[in-house]
Structure 1
Amino acid sequence: MNAHSPSKRRLPAAIHLALIGALSVTVLGTSLTTSAWAQDSSAQYHFDIPAGPLEAAIARFSSITGSSISFQPGAASQQRSPGLQGNHGVLQGLQQLLGGSNLQAVELGSGSFTLIVRDKAMTLEATSITGSSLRNSATTEGTGSYTTGVTSTATKMNLSIRETPQSVSVVTRQQIEDQGLSTINDAAMKTPGLNMQKNGAERYNLYARGFPVDNIMYDGLPIDLNSTDTISPANLAMYDRVEIVRGANGLIQGTGNPSAAINLVRKRPTAEFQSSINLSAGSWDNYRSELDVSGPLIENGKLRGRAVASYQDGNSFQDELSKEHSLFYAIGEAEISDSTTLTLSYNHQNENNNVAWGGGLPTAVNGGDLHLSRSTSFLANWEYWDKEMDTLHLELQYRFDNDWALRVSGNRSWSSLNYYGGYPARRANNLGSLRYNVSGGQYKDTQSSYDIYLNGPFQLLNRTHEIVLGYSYRENDYDTHGSGTTAVATDIDPHSFDPGSWAKPSVNLYDFMDIRDMTQEGLYATGRFTLNDQLKLIVGTRLDWYDYQYLYNWKGDISITEAKETRHLTRYAGLLYDLDQNHTLYTSYTDIFQPQSNRNTSGQLIDPIEGKNYEVGIKGEYFDGALNASIAIFLIDQENRSSEVDDPTTCNVYPSSTCYEPAGKVRSKGIEIELNGAITPAWQLAAGYAFAEAKYKKDANTANEGKLFDTDIPRHQFKATSMYNLPNALNRWRVGASFYYQSAVYNEGTTSGQNWKVEQEDYSVIDLITTYKASEHLDLRFALNNLLDEKYYQSIGQNISTWPTTFYGAPRNFQVSATYRF
């Protein structure tokens, strides 16, 4: 099948609109009844809850039965449950689950219970556990949920998704395991509104709302993704969840695109011992193993530790490609006192990739499809792309007696890349000839990020409010050297060639040097004010000092560029109004400021981007937070955003790189609809539709006005993943599916007088998932990906003259895995 020809199996427009309409009706309904969650007193449920911390056991019990369980804060802490196995009724099962504790269950009706200390009634305010997670907990591990209780990525305050005046998604630990997600790129492809594109075999860019994601956060501390060649995609084996806040995020990160803030939250040590091992095998000899051990290191539990290790080795559907990835993660947590906790973690990632520098497939001179097999690869057996990344993280938390808290944290990473490889390309003065260019290089990147903030409640006008005061500092030292390109083959026939016959060339690793140093520090403050019982106001501001130095040495031709910004002000405001107990209207505003490292045709830095981000929406929270829904409408205006020139031959750095031009004013607007969590106690769903359209509003070239800013980012996306626990005798089985749809994309331009267009029509991909609880300790998982074997370009070429970035998506493939919990 032609990769960019209309697919007979693509999602029809009528079905596409029907799915969106159905989701909209679900989200906009004035209320969701709890009838699906009501308990039949005679109903039997199958339980496989291991012995362990009582709070976690209650949360899991609530997830399975849909029961609402409330109890006094702290009443279940430091207590253990014997666990629960087999088939039981709700009340009978809950009583056994509480065995050995000092709590007993009192039935309130309609599937609700309260827990009281035996022989002693409790009259203080209760904490509620409903659906699938602790109501005030952010941790998703062990909850079985597709949503979380609270997040802090947007404002550093622990707010529920409903209380956050921006569009928020969370990829939970359960989703990671159900869908077999290995890296942050996998998670992005499952998250509504996010798009992943490849500009090399192991080079990735993430996009949201029409713009690239240029920072990623680790436990709230950002690092720069502009040097993605050295930054290894995060291995999800060590993370509890991924939090995504779409839109501008300058209040927390300072500089950044109005795309999304992606926050990877590490797994933490557990109060009770637990361990697991996961083994998986899949198509093209792909094998992966994970080991996770956690628990107390001393008898009183005040010193806890956790270690995670993973190893992956496999080939690809592309000829000759192979990858070997490993991870080691260790974290220790010490309760220095009742109010002070110190956390220290270290992780090491190593990648040995037998892949090319580029790895993409060429197109015809006019951008048309060459009808190559998906297995086609230009890789020679001496090419490699190897990475290492070490990260050290330190965190100190101090809790005051008045509910205030101080958090000091720091993150430092050391990354390196060694590569030797090439890509097929065409010379601008001879577009009809295809050649293979090779170069090599060694890159090093050291990044540090530090943050200290104080937050807590205060009283004003007889109401409780909250404030955050903080300071952050970041620095990035990026140092590379490499070679110019050397052609090892010319006049290649893309349908019949032999990379094995290409001799490894000798290159000079010191043809160029690229040194970049960036520092940024900022002061920030955020306040959440309760104006009345229904109306909340969140306001924030940030002052930033930014310094950027860039030295580029091309064979002795040195250019030095500097950029500096002093006391740049970023403003943030959000207003939320509770319509009823389930729904909240919100609106928010954020300033945009983004210094740019892209250069124009003369080699000069393009001035910083500035703009404004507006958002309005409605959020729903059902079953005490077990299910979250939202609709968001956004508008983003940016001025001076750089855009890649249509003809790279006009660049002073051609052909070693490309260059950019200021795009005047670009406006992005769209809508996002999302539903996450438990539809019923047995049915978890994560689904969303996103439309984003970025166009030139004003430009020096008036012909661009009204045109799309970036044509290879899909304007429409629909993503859904669902898992259902079968009832009665089949209750050991869970069945599910994953669905992905995106609209058509293209790139077009003119090179040396040749008009060209590379395109991919809209397409959809379906995956199937089944899990089986073989025993109390053993879980099996079966996945069939790209069920209909859709042939499509996952990423398309930026042009026809430099390295091609056209990559096929994976054909139909399978994965089987087994997880044993000790």
Structure 2
Amino acid sequence: MKLLFLIALSLLGSVVFAANEPLSVIKGTVYSSDNQPVANATVHVKNTNRTTITDKNGAFSFRKLDEGSYTIVVSFVGAEPVEQTVEVGHNETADINIIVNLSLKDLEEVIIKGTRNKYKNEEVSSSLRLQTPILELPQNIQVISSQIMADQQVFDIVDGITRNISGATRQGHWDNQYANIRMRGSKIPAFRNGMNIEASWGPTAEDAAMIERIEFVKGPAGFMLANGEPGGFYNVVTKKPTGYTKGSATFSAGSFSTYRGALDFDGKLSSDGRLLYRLNLAAQQKDFHTKYNYSNRYMVAPVLSYLIDDATTLTLEYTYQGSKYLSNGNYSFSPKQFADPGIGNDFFYGDPTFEPGRIRDHSVYAYLDHQINSRWKAHAQIAYFNFNMEANSTWLNYMRANGDMPRYWSISGEQGENRFGQFSFSGEERTGGIRHRILMGADFGNKKFWGDFRTILDSIPAAPLNVYNPVYGLPGAIFPVLDRSQDIRVLAGGSNYVSVVSYASAYAQDELAFFDDQLRLSLGLRFTSAETVGKTKAAQINSNVFSPRVGLSYSITKDMAAYALYDQSFVPVAGTNWQGEAFEPIRGNDIEAGLKKDWFNGHWTSSISAYIITRKNALVADPDPDHVVGGQTFQAQLGETKTKGIEVDITGEVLPGLNLNANYALTDSKISEDSRAENIGNVTPNTAKHTANGWLNYRVQKGAFEGFGLMGGVSALIDRHISTTKEPNFPNYFRADGGLSYQKGRYSISMLVNNLLNHQRLLTAGSISNPSNALKAKGAVTYYSYIVEPRRNMRIGITYRF
């Protein structure tokens, strides 16, 4: 409560003393030589640290200036800057227009050429609500740009994204459906445009064509979350209208019958520039390296933005993602070990007889932005998500020592509905020599999920599939027709796969800056009221939680800052254990410190951070083989885990034409408290102690070979644990990729070879299953489940920008 009092006091002081502060302002608009407003231009007040970016109408402003003469500099990557001097009086506003010496078409060419290898980002997206540059934030935030995704020929969120972030790993599971990303000792939730859309079995992995950038926020960041994991979260920022009339077409082809096309249209629908649009389309056919398996996807994402007046903008966004696939996952099974050399890289545990599954995923957003005055702005957004899956699945009942695996066959139906609302106010004020950046608002959410996973055939009436000698082609007549005539809400009613989570929260944060903004103190507090609803009173949890946050950042030099942070987290957990008891909320504390530095005038940046996270009530798979009811498995909660780590990230243009993204993380995550004493001191499941990644892209800048490029990268995961053991029990991982590219004007072409060394057994996920006593009597043995990445494969992509 003392922290809340301090925040309230600082807000009150802002209002009381703001009237006595000088309010000199320089604002203006940047135009091209053909009199078109120029968006995304960099505008800088010369000989100061004041920099901003023009909005989609070419507008910019600088507040809180002393009277005097200033030189305003407008610049673009790859173009000559333009300067203009302006005089501003005491508490006056100077309004200027700056004309650059290029037409809008010429500027688009400059932007395409100048940003084609832009890996470094200096600001977070507006969806994170922060007004402070990344360098000065008291937190480790890493950004994956759309450019690095294009260079790596990424197709969706599960397609190698984690290699670009220190300590982030992907536990490949349902690759046709959703991403399962871990960081700092726990699975991290998925955000989209600043909203926590994490669901029981989702969200659907976003197609790369709809992604502008992905922001990995390390640590709880309670001021941004109504509820979230202490390890952090990733935020997918979707593409919005830019104000430029432009577009691109990309066509790709590759190994395993992969064919893909993506279109991006960006422009104006009205001559006055008030109505803007963005339309992204993508479709792909993609087989897997496993026999018969495939996943065909398509995506439509239109966005409309309307400038109601000079201070208010309304944006509407809709996304539809659909897919048709044969089987979730690319699992292998072995009675002997992980990465069993006797099992081929192309092993498929399903059958081509199975009816394809289908996913339909709809999401709708509405955003309203309003500039209240020169210092304050308001933002509101609401969203609705509707997810539906109709599929079937199989899994082994047990495994025999010779590799036989009798399988059962189930229906797989899912329905999810999420509703969200956010409101926030942010602004700057001054009290004497202290600058305040104030953020306050509220979040609301309601998440509902229904799952129908009834076993239809306890045992498929055919010879068991043998992992060492698989024979496919089951007779279709042995499978009954699946009845989906009833609503899934009815079909799921008697199962354990029904959950409802609702939350409401309010928060406030004040970033106080001292000594000419050199020292910054962030004080934040969030209150969250959450409810998880179950089938019985024992399965229902109500929580009211205060989450404080204190951060400190100090600029050692203009391009180097040190920070320290204390933050708390709170996560309501839906579902029950095998006894029908509700899970307790996950609680976490994070203490960390770090150092950030920009190098060579900001061309590249580096960061190093160290942290300690305490996490209570972590969820793991129930290890007791007798806790399986009708083929349904359950989860259990650990007492407490403690994770310590060090993370290093480097990204940007280290030399002209040479862009680098490299990272390393040491993650030491162990169980510190548990009702089972033998677990204490064991490593947290699904943890890699060492992760290291590097990606280089070099492009010739001039001469006869201008536009030619070389690229390549490596990824390594060392000392891996997939269950609670003291010693590593999962194979290490090392992969190398490389390729060539060429860019000329509006055309680009690239070829990338993944898994250059053709490792046949690169594993992304795994588990060990012990048979119950009843199954042992049938000859069942302990078996290993794991997912193997593809052998050597290639992708070629061609892009035309117009």
Assess same fold via TM > 0.5: yes
The partner residue of 1:630 within 607, 619, 640 is 607
**C-alpha separation between the residues in 2 aligned to 1:75 and 1:704?**
55
**1:237-262 CA deviation, whole Å, 9 max, x = no partner?**
11211111112133322222112221
CA contact (8 A) 2:131 2:437 kept: no
1:772 aligns with 2:760: no
Report which stretch shifted further, 333-342 or 600-609: 600-609
Which is worse superposed, 443-452 or 361-370?
Answer: 361-370
In the TM superposition, what are the counterparts of 1:193-212 in structure 2 within 5 Å? 193-200=167-174, 202=176, 204-212=179-187
Where in structure 2 are the equivalents of 1:244-393 lying within 5 Å? 244-355=216-327, 357=328, 359-364=330-335, 369=340, 371-383=342-354, 384-393=356-365
1:5 is matched with none
The answer to whether the 8 A contact 1:200-1:805 is kept is no
* Alpha-carbon separation, structure 1, partners of 2:153 and 2:403: 43
Q: Deviations over 1:71-129 (max 9, x none)?
A: 9978998679xxxxxxxxxxxxxxxxxxxxxx99999xxx9975235xx77789999x9
Q: Where in structure 1 are there 5+ consecutive unaligned residues?
A: 1-48, 81-102, 552-557, 751-755
Query: How far apart, CA to CA, are the structure 2 residues paired with 1:531 and 1:820?
Result: 49
1:480 and 2:480 are equivalent in the alignment:
no
Kindly indicate whether residue 584 of structure 2 is the aligned counterpart of residue 607 of structure 1. Answer: yes
1:744 aligns with 2:711: no
**Cα deviation 1:590-614 (Å, max 9, x = unaligned):** 1122223353342312322223111
Alpha-carbon separation, structure 2, partners of 1:740 and 1:342: 42
Q: Would you say the 8 A contact 2:230–2:569 is kept in 1?
A: yes
Q: Secondary structure at the residue paired with 1:650? A: coil
Distance 1:366 1:732 in 2: 47
User: Does the 8 A contact of 1:456 with 1:466 survive in 2?
Assistant: yes
Match of residue 627, structure 2, among 643, 651, 659? 651
Evaluate the alpha carbon distance shift between residue 261 and residue 104 of structure 1 in structure 2; reply closer, same or farther with a 3 A threshold: closer
1:202 positional shift: 3.1
Q: Secondary structure at the match of 1:473?
A: strand
Residue number among 162, 174, 179 corresponding to 2:147 in the alignment: 174
1:232 CA drift (Å): 1.3
Q: Does the 8 Å contact 1:685/1:723 carry over to 2?
A: yes
Report what 2:683 is aligned to. 708
Instruction: Tell me the CA shift for residue 726 of structure 1.
Output: 1.3
Rounded to whole Å, the distance in 2 between the matches of 1:772 and 1:69 is: 39
Does the 8 Å CA contact 1:54/1:76 hold for their aligned counterparts?
A: no
Question: For 1:653-706, what per-residue CA distance to the aligned partner results, in whole angstroms no more than 9, with x for missing partners?
Answer: 36311331x322210010000011121332211111011121012222222222
User: 1:807 — aligned with what?
Assistant: 787
Q: Distance in 2 between matches of 1:814 and 1:346?
A: 33
2:523 is equivalent to residue 539 of structure 1: yes
Deviations 1:205-232 (A, max 9, x none): 110011011x22221111123322xx31
How many residues matched?
712
Q: Distance in 1 between matches of 2:646 and 2:691?
A: 11
3-state DSSP of counterpart to 1:798: strand
- Aligned partners of 1:342 and 1:105: how far apart in 2? 30
Match of 1:4 in 2: none
* 2:505 counterpart of 1:548: no
Residues 330-382 of structure 1 deviation map (CA, whole Å, 9 limit, x = unaligned): 00111100000110011100010112x45411111566726211011122123
Separation in 1 of the partners of 2:673 and 2:765? 27
Q: Following the alignment from structure 2 to structure 1, what is the Cα–Cα distance between the partners of residues 557 and 719?
A: 40
Is the 1:56–1:142 Cα contact (8 Å) retained in structure 2? no
Per-residue CA distance 1:611-667 (angstroms, 9 max, x = gap):
3111101011234543221000010012232333333x231536311331x322210
CA, structure 1 residues 303+261, in 2 after alignment: closer, same or farther (shift >3 Å)? Answer: same
Alpha-carbon distance, 1:579 to partner? 1.2
Cα distance in 2 for partners of 1:460, 1:140 equals: 44
Partner SS state of residue 175, structure 1: helix
CA offsets per residue over residues 140-184 of structure 1, 9 Å max, x none?
Answer: 995641021211589622222111211111011211111111111
Structure 2 counterpart of 1:192, which letter? S
Aligned position for 1:642: 619
From 731, 735, 742, the counterpart of 1:761: 731
> Would you say 1:724 and 2:698 are equivalent positions?
yes
Contact 1:193 1:209 in 2 (8 A): yes
1:405–1:455 Cα contact (<8 Å) kept: yes
Secondary structure class of the residue paired with 2:346:
coil
In structure 1, what residue type is equivalent to 2:649? E
Q: 2:470 aligns with which of 489, 497, 505?
A: 497
- 1:795 alignment counterpart: 764
Distance 2:595 2:321 in 1: 40
CA distance in 1, matches of 2:727, 2:244: 58
Determine the structure 2 residue equivalent to 1:22. Answer: none
Contact 2:500-2:574 within 8 A present in 1 as well: no
State the match for 2:20 in structure 1: none
**Counterpart Cα distance in 1 of 2:121 and 2:474:** 54
Deviation digits for residues 174-201 of structure 1, max 9, x if unmatched? 1111111111122234332211112345
Please tell me the residue identity of whatever aligns with 1:220: G
Partner of 1:561: 539
Partner deviation per Cα, 1:697-740 (whole Å, 9 max, x = no partner) = 22222222221121x32111111212112142211112211211
| Partner of residue 11, structure 2 | none
Cα displacement (A) at 1:287 = 0.4
Identity %: 19
- Which of 137, 141, 156 aligns to 1:183? It is 156
Who is 1:698 aligned against? 673
Give the TM-score normalised by the residue count of structure 2. 0.82
Per-residue CA deviations over 1:419-443 (Å, capped at 9, x if unaligned) read 1121234169x99852122101221
Please say if residues 722 and 738 of structure 1, whose CA atoms lie closer than 8 Å, have aligned partners that are also in contact: yes
Q: Secondary structure at the match of 1:479?
A: strand
Confirm or deny: 8 A CA contact 1:388 1:416 kept in the other structure: yes
Distance 1:104 1:233, change over 3 A: closer
Aligned pair partner of 2:194 in 214, 217, 220: 220
Unaligned runs of 5+ in 2: 1-31, 60-70, 89-93, 101-106, 485-490, 772-782
Pair 1:121–1:576, CA change in 2 (3 A): closer
Take 1:358 and 1:298, find their aligned partners in 2: how far apart are those partners? 46
Instruction: Report the secondary structure of 2:594's partner residue.
Output: strand
* Aligned counterpart, 2:18: none
Pair 1:148 & 2:141 matched: no
RMSD: 3.7
* Residues 746/368 of structure 1: CA separation in 2 closer, same or farther (3 Å cut): farther
Separation (CA, whole Å) in 2 of partners of 1:50 and 1:805: 63
Matched, 1:570 2:543: no
Taking the aligned partners of 2:256 and 2:528, their CA distance within structure 1 comes to 49
Output the CA distance in 1 between the equivalents of 2:127 and 2:309. 30
> Given that residues 216 and 224 in structure 1 are in contact (C-alpha distance below 8 angstroms), is that contact kept between their aligned partners in structure 2?
yes
Name which of structure 1's ranges 333-342 and 70-79 shifts more when overlaid on structure 2. 70-79
Q: 2: CA distance between counterparts of 1:680 and 1:160? A: 23
Match 1:461 to one of 424, 432, 437? 432
